[in-house]
């Protein structure tokens, strides 16, 4: 499947170039602030001495090697959910592998919810810290413009989010070449300084990192909270796998990104040994004075690309969560006629924008933002590792020694990152935790409330089979045409159908009861889309259809019915059918299944959910809504 995708999009090289622009934007801009933060942490506990510099370089290099090259590139990319990646996709994949109803069944989706919640925290912080770190180069090249850093950053962020509605298909063509140039510049800047001090290459030896930890355990532990900034964006390698495939991502990483990052970090280390005062901004100090302003421009473009990648990722995660039942219906707009993955979600866009601007105004520097960054990233690392190990045991049949061989080193390293970032909790680290808790609360509240409403709706609607028997025993008048009743299942009777039959004493000549189901896969093949059930009598003109969709697909009901007609499953023209919605009004009651504040939250979410007419792509002039109330 991956090979077919690669050939259809122009081959591995073309996809690798595209991956440079989307997958590696975040980790590719980490050199802007990673070492600067390490050597500027509280009380300047990490000094620009050979021992400290070599130790930090070693920790950075081996963090990138173990987490990115080994964990993600070698292992995590193998766990693809029908070609798709990301923490929610991995959770759905793991859920299909474990025993239904067991303790791990609910646990894996809870981890998925927490991972997605942390991703939202990352999605708010990444645009702010990336853009700020690039524009702060102005204070190096032109100190008199330092007061304009925050206003310029706000303007760029505003333009970035305002342009989301127009899509990325046009500017996206330039992402790959621009980021290719960025990685060349990273390599050249670093190589120039390395050639002046080749001894810095010895800093790649792991023993320098070990010595640094042994000789300065407390300092090293605190420094690890900043070292982790060098691997932010590693999750994007997995999240964007569906767009590019494993091989293009692997080749782009090993042949371009990894060497360029290594050279640049080595160059910054050599510069710090030559001039300790460069710790204020070692990245921009690598460049000659005359090239610093153009470098600021290039860095700003690169950080905008990195921000675009994480914003697009937030849209995808939101749609996955909604399809899996953890968010209400979202208004999703496609921004490309050719690429189904290019979407725009207005509600998520507005929420992210307000969060990013608030961060920009509150923290006002990349160094201060860095204190808030690590917890979201390290928390996601731990969740991804846990989900992968569960999947590897349940689906691939890994033995305990295999799980321990990979899991113990990863868990030890990632718990160290996480623990080091906990020390920053009071200095901004609370922010991603707060965002994650808020998002997780919303997702779990919606999932629980939806279950309760579905149960009470079903009891109110009554079973379907007795209702059909009643129609046979006491026939009602039939009117010409086809009526399509949207309904969650085939166990209960659609309220709109019951109302028509019992109060209006009519039904249509042809009745389709249509349910949609979101599967734990991204896409469903056309020949598997429609499941037909005659409900015991193929001649009574009442038929149930289940339309299957992946969590990355739009639930276009007229389109799916047209497909069913084309496949000769039904003989109904969706262009002339009338669509009936059973619109449920939810009222807050005195039941104790949910707390009062969670009920108010659920009601607010339900009130702001996308219109079912738009969500299911129904024709407004042939759609009828009939309502009823459910007490929660």
| Residue 433 belongs to a domain | no
Residues 523 and 381 in one domain: no
What gap in Å lies between CA 487 and CA 495, rounded to an integer?
Answer: 9
Residues 560 and 487 in one domain: yes
- What three-state secondary structure class fits 629? strand
Residues 419 and 543 in one domain: no
Residues 127 and 85 in one domain: yes
| Residue 340 belongs to a domain | yes
Residues 522 and 384 in one domain: no
CB of 388 within 8 A of CB of 79?
Answer: yes
Structure tokens of 181? 């140039």
Average pLDDT, the chain: 84
C-alpha distance across the termini of the chain, in Å: 45
| Residue 582 belongs to a domain | yes
Secondary-structure percent of the chain, ordered helix, strand, coil, rounded to 5: 70, 10, 25
Question: Residue 504 belongs to what H/E stretch?
Answer: none
CA nearest to 450, candidates 331, 327, 557: 327
User: Residue length, the chain?
Assistant: 632
Residues 120 and 259 in one domain: yes
| Residue 440 belongs to a domain | no
The residues that bridge with 626 in the sheet, in sequence order, are: 582
| Residue 590 belongs to a domain | yes
Structure tokens of 39? 């050597």
Domain count, the chain: 2
CATH number at residue 157: 1.20.1740
Residues 199 and 266 in one domain: yes
Instruction: Give, in order, the Cα–Cα distances in Å from 455 to each of 50, 235, 590.
Output: 66, 37, 16
| Residue 390 belongs to a domain | yes
Residue ranges making up the domain that contains 490: 454-631
Structure tokens of 339? 């690429």
Residues 476 and 407 in one domain: no
335-364, pLDDT tens digit by residue?
Answer: 655 455 567 788 888 999 998 998 888 888
Residues 460 and 368 in one domain: no
**The predicted structure's pLDDT at residue 409:** 92
204-217, pLDDT tens digit by residue?
Answer: 999 999 999 999 89
Residues 461 and 356 in one domain: no
pTM of the model: 0.80
Positions of the chain with pLDDT under 70:
1-12, 41-44, 83, 101-102, 141, 167-173, 242-243, 334-342, 520, 538-539, 627
- For 356-384, b where at least 16 C-beta lie within 10 A, e where not — what string? bbebbeebebbbbbbbbbbbbbbbbbbbb
What gap in Å lies between CA 23 and CA 343, rounded to an integer?
Answer: 17
**The predicted structure's pLDDT at residue 383:** 93
Residues 474 and 339 in one domain: no
Residues 290 and 409 in one domain: yes
**The predicted structure's pLDDT at residue 390:** 92
- What DSSP letter does each residue of 186-223 carry, written as one string? HHHHHHHHHHH-GGGGGGGSHHHHHHHHHHSHHHHHHH
**The predicted structure's pLDDT at residue 416:** 92
82-138, pLDDT tens digit by residue?
Answer: 767 778 888 888 888 887 766 777 788 889 889 888 888 888 888 888 888 888 877
**The predicted structure's pLDDT at residue 8:** 44
473-481 long-range contacts, CB within 8 A, separation 24+: 476/501, 476/505, 476/506, 476/507, 477/505, 477/506, 477/507, 478/506, 478/507, 478/508, 478/509, 479/506, 479/507, 479/508, 479/509, 480/508, 480/509, 481/508, 481/509, 481/510, 481/576, 481/577, 481/578
| Residue 10 belongs to a domain | yes
| Residue 208 belongs to a domain | yes
């Amino acid at each position: 499947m991956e090979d077919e995708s690669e050939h259809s999009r122009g081959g591995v090289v073309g996809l690798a170039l595209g991956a440079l622009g989307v997958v590696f934007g975040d980790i590719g801009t980490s050199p802007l602030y990673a070492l600067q933060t390490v050597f500027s942490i509280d009380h300047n506990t990490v000094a620009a001495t050979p021992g400290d510099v070599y130790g930090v370089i070693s920790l950075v290099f081996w963090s990138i090697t173990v987490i990115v090259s080994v964990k993600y590139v070698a292992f995590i990319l193998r766990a693809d959910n029908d070609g798709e990646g990301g923490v929610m996709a991995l959770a759905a994949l793991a859920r299909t592998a474990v025993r239904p109803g067991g303790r791990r069944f609910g646990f894996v989706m809870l981890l998925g919810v927490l991972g997605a919640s942390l991703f939202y925290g990352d999605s708010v912080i990444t645009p702010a810290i990336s853009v700020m770190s690039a524009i702060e180069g102005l204070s190096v090249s032109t100190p008199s413009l330092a007061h304009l850093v925050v206003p310029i950053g706000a303007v760029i962020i505003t333009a970035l989010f305002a342009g989301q509605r127009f899509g990325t298909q046009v500017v996206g063509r330039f992402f790959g070449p621009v980021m290719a140039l960025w990685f060349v510049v990273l390599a050249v800047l670093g190589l120039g300084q390395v050639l002046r001090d080749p001894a810095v290459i010895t800093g790649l030896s792991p023993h320098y990192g070990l010595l640094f930890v042994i000789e300065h355990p407390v300092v090293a532990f605190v420094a690890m909270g900043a070292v982790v900034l060098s691997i932010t964006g590693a999750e994007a390698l997995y999240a964007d796998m569906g767009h590019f495939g494993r091989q293009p991502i692997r080749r782009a990483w090993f042949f371009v990104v990894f060497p360029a990052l290594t050279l640049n970090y080595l160059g910054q280390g050599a510069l710090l040994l030559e001039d300790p005062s460069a710790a204020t901004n070692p990245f921009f100090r690598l460049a000659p004075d005359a090239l610093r302003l153009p470098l600021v421009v290039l860095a700003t473009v690169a950080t905008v690309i990195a921000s675009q990648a994480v914003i697009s990722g937030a849209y995808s995660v939101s749609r996955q969560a909604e399809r899996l039942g953890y968010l209400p219906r979202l208004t999703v707009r496609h921004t490309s006629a050719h690429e189904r993955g290019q979407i725009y979600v207005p509600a998520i866009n507005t929420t992210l924008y307000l969060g990013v601007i608030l961060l920009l105004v509150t923290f006002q520097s990349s160094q201060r933002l860095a204190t808030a960054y690590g917890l979201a990233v390290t928390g996601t690392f731990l969740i991804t590792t846990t989900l992968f190990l569960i999947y590897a045991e349940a689906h691939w049949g890994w033995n305990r020694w295999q799980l321990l061989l990979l899991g113990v080193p990863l868990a030890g390293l990632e718990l160290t990152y996480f623990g080091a970032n906990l020390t920053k909790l009071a200095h901004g680290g609370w922010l991603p935790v707060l965002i994650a808790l808020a998002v997780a609360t919303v997702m779990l509240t919606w999932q629980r409330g939806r279950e309760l409403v579905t149960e009470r709706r079903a009891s109110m609607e009554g079973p379907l089979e007795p209702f059909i028997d009643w129609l046979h025993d006491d026939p009602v008048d039939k009117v010409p045409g086809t009526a399509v009743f949207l309904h969650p299942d085939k166990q209960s009777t659609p309220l709109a159908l019951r109302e028509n039959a019992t109060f209006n004493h009519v039904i249509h000549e042809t009745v389709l009861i249509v349910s949609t189901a979101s599967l734990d896969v991204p896409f469903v093949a056309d020949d598997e889309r429609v499941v037909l059930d005659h409900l015991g009598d193929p001649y009574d003109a009442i038929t149930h259809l289940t339309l299957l969709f992946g969590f990355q697909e739009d639930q276009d009901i007229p389109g799916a019915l047209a497909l069913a007609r084309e496949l000769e499953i039904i003989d109904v023209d969706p262009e002339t059918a009338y669509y009936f919605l059973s619109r449920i009004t939810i009222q807050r009651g005195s039941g104790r299944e949910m707390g009062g504040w969670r009920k108010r939250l659920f009601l607010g979410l339900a009130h702001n959910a996308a219109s079912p007419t738009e969500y299911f792509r129904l024709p407004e002039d042939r759609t009828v809504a009939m309502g009823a109330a459910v007490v929660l």
